Chain A
């Protein structure tokens, strides 16, 4: 009997995909259980530490908000105004003008009556691009604002400059074009106020999508679902990622990524690890891993936590080509970070991070688009070879599709149950429909963007952050 090599490959791949798929489904189920528990626990804990208690307290940690800005002239004045209006008694705002070529700096100087500050002897624990001038406001109502003008060095470099200049216990890194909830600092500081045996080194919160919503004075006046399908699907994706994914990780102290758009860190730990890595586009994940490694190496119990609430809003890519560019960049960042920290792989020295969390990221975050791509190729090739039982294949596809829909539906259910956004029947139905269309309309684009990113890394093709043209936030309905 001849040995049929293709048959052997076919069944090997079949079992691999089956095993991979079942493992992923099991992980998702665990994530649902853990995140439900985490959300419920967070809610109960919040009753004992409400924002009204924190806003009136003394001795709470001081926070510096760092907002890097590059060519944000269109919106910088309004963005800074809204960042200055956050409700927290002890915070500073540092806007880092990262070598903008437009009139961002002059607009700030004029609006906030800034004057240069003697910066001859400024200390820089973390090396950064040259700082040209530091500005502070002459007006009493803006005395918490500092603007640092520096040579262009990228977002990470700008964040590091802000970290250098901050003098507070905690620093919050955000983007200048994000909208931050007014009471977000009061909520983000909770884990630090309640830290006990484990030191809290980073805290993140859910990020929401604000396309087509009404913004007034830097505040979300009316939250609406995006009109277009692509950003609407991203709403579902973000809900799933933050509510199911990050909250589940938070429950088992497995958070490795605190989003660069909104993350609160202990400043002394950032200085110890030399801040953000300027050589990777996945700087937030890379920092998270490096912080965890550092804490393991100095043998101090620690945790990185997530809050289940949406405290930061951002504009999502509106069109397919911008989405592809974004996911390409995220994929490259992920690849770079995984490569940089490959010594974690099944390394017992780093305990759970080495044995479980890093391998998870390797197999199921980095690996998922590759497995999907191979799966698609297999389907085409083995289909042409007549090896596929199409009845079973279709039924299996329907099964998997329904499972995916259930996960999304559960995520939406948890969101609707616990939070006040999207509380009309119409919006919930739209979200559900978007979730059910996602596998056909959106997911292939995602995989394409990710594979494109990996391709660039494998063949060392140059790429950069790119420019996402923002519509900006409309003040009119």
Chain B
């Protein structure tokens, strides 16, 4: 009985193996063929675009010929994957070009497919299709769908809501920051980076009215985003916003604050504020980063502050402080400290600064 069962199992396994072999063979051949097809589309697109942007003298680009060229290489409604690849190429190109050529490209791209594919994707249940649709909408400047994007800004899938939020920035600019206090879900670092990038590329003049409205956000990711915006646009008048977060209980928020503040050269009042906050930071590595920054932007060494750290800081802070003082003309103070340490070990006395 066991023998019969085992023989049946063995035969089934052999059949499965054959199916997998067939799948491997098919996959390899299909991939090779598909790669050739995609290379052809990419090369054709590159040629078409370059000749369109820089035609021969006295020759006008022929859009009908361009459309025919694309149809010949398989950019037709019945081949949606080819159409999708072309859309990706168009987006990639548009993101690489600025100036007059950017406007020329926009004109060209309205004349060739994507056959209205992007809006259809918004209705898909699959997150990657939906998110792709949103990306295409804002990259191809289809601003008529901005209401749909507003509805997707709190979607439960992180990629969908990311693309929706980026899309809102593209279409609404600084005004879209008014949604920031009402975002319910986590925003990733990449999202923050893209939002700042899009604002910088498309709306380089900061609109402080809307930015400051967003200050009421309490979520850490919103705070981090605002700090990055302040840093990117060098809004020195709002640098206090960043300073307030230097001793925040959240590690990542402090990390962002220290990173963002390091772009600024501060006045004495702000510098004093930072020195006060220094003592409240619970992470030694972050304190070290801030210490290096304080030293970098100070016109002269604040001996009171540094000596306090030298005598009363943690071991690691003491070493860094000693390093700064030693290399900035205060070798005697460092030697004095170590002499006192040696004496204290012998006498057991407390030493005050």
Question: CB within 8 Å of B: which residues of A?
Answer: 44-45, 47-49, 52, 57-61, 118, 120-123, 125, 167, 169, 192-197, 267-268, 271, 389, 391-392, 395-396, 398-399, 402-403, 405-406, 409-410, 412-413, 416-417, 423, 425, 428
Contacts and interface: CB of A to CB of B under 8 A. Distances in A.
24 contacts: A48-B131, A48-B159, A48-B162, A52-B92, A57-B197, A59-B192, A125-B285, A193-B190, A194-B158, A196-B186, A197-B186, A267-B285, A268-B283, A391-B3, A392-B3, A395-B3, A399-B13, A402-B14, A403-B13, A409-B21, A412-B24, A416-B24, A417-B27, A428-B28
B284 interface: yes
Interface in B282-316: 283-285, 288-289, 316
B188 A423 contact: no
Nearest to B324: A121
B323 interface: yes
B339 interface: no
B285 A413 contact: no
Nearest to B9: A399
A14 to B, nearest CB: 12
B322 interface: yes
Nearest to B126: A44
B51 interface: no
A393 to B, nearest CB: 10
Given A406-B20, A409-B21, A194 B190 contact: yes
A119 to B, nearest CB: 10
B319 A123 contact: yes
A120 B185 CA distance: 47
B52 to A, nearest CB: 22
A223 to B, nearest CB: 16
- DSSP majority for the A interface? helix
B68 interface: no
Contacts of A410: 20
Contact of B13 (A122, A197, A402): A402
Contacts of B350: none
Residue with the highest number of chain A CB atoms closer than 10 Å, among B92, B189, B190, B316: B190
- DSSP majority for the B interface? helix
B327 interface: yes
A177 to B, nearest CB: 30
Closest 5 CB pairs of A and B: A121-B323, A395-B6, A193-B190, A402-B13, A196-B186
Given A49-B190, A413-B24, A123 B2 contact: no
Contacts of B31: 417, 423
Interface string B314-330: 00100110110011000
A277 B58 CA distance: 72
Interface of B: 2-3, 6-7, 9-10, 13-14, 16-17, 20-21, 23-25, 27-28, 31-32, 92, 128, 131-132, 135, 158-159, 162-163, 185-190, 192-193, 196-197, 228, 232, 251, 255, 259, 283-285, 288-289, 316, 319-320, 322-323, 326-327
Given A57-B193, A410-B20, A395 B28 contact: no
A195 B284 CA distance: 24
Contacts of A197: 186
A129 B21 CA distance: 54
Given A59-B228, A268-B285, A195 B189 contact: yes
Contacts of B25: 425
B28 A416 contact: yes
A395 B10 CA distance: 8
Residue with the highest number of chain B CB atoms closer than 10 Å, among A59, A125, A195: A59
A405 B16 CA distance: 11
A197 B21 CA distance: 41
Given A59-B196, A196-B158, A399 B323 contact: no
A58 B193 contact: yes
A464 to B, nearest CB: 33
A169 B255 contact: yes
Nearest to A59: B193
B245 to A, nearest CB: 16
Given A196-B188, A413-B27, 16 more contacts: A58-B197, A59-B193, A59-B196, A123-B288, A125-B285, A192-B189, A194-B158, A194-B189, A195-B189, A398-B10, A399-B10, A416-B28, A417-B27, A417-B31, A425-B25, A428-B24
A120 B193 contact: no
B322 A402 contact: no
A425 B163 CA distance: 40
A409 B187 CA distance: 40
